[in-house]
Amino acid sequence: MRATKLLSNTKNLCYKERLTMLTLPTLKYRRLRGDMIEMYKIITNKQYSDVTLKFHIIPAAITRGNRVSKNCASVIF
């Protein structure tokens, strides 16, 4: 049983209606956000990963203040 269906007033609602009522993000959004967080950890060496990243770090002067920017992205697992 899904956790959103545990509440008595959401049992008969469809998925999107339950998310709207409980102000929760969709599964697609949560997965995308998780992927972006993991990519940040890998780029900034905050987490060891055996993923080979195939892109170049662009100097900060070109990225308007950001330390890193992705260029020619290709990831090999």
Identify the pLDDT of residue 34: 92
Identify the pLDDT of residue 59: 57
Q: Which two tokens stand for residue 8?
A: 């008595």
40/65 Cα distance (integer angstroms)? 16
Identify the pLDDT of residue 77: 45
29/54 Cα distance (integer angstroms)? 25
Identify the pLDDT of residue 65: 56
Q: What is the pTM of this model?
A: 0.57
Q: How does pLDDT run across 18-61, given as a tens digit for each residue?
A: 888 889 999 999 999 998 898 888 778 787 777 766 666 655 55
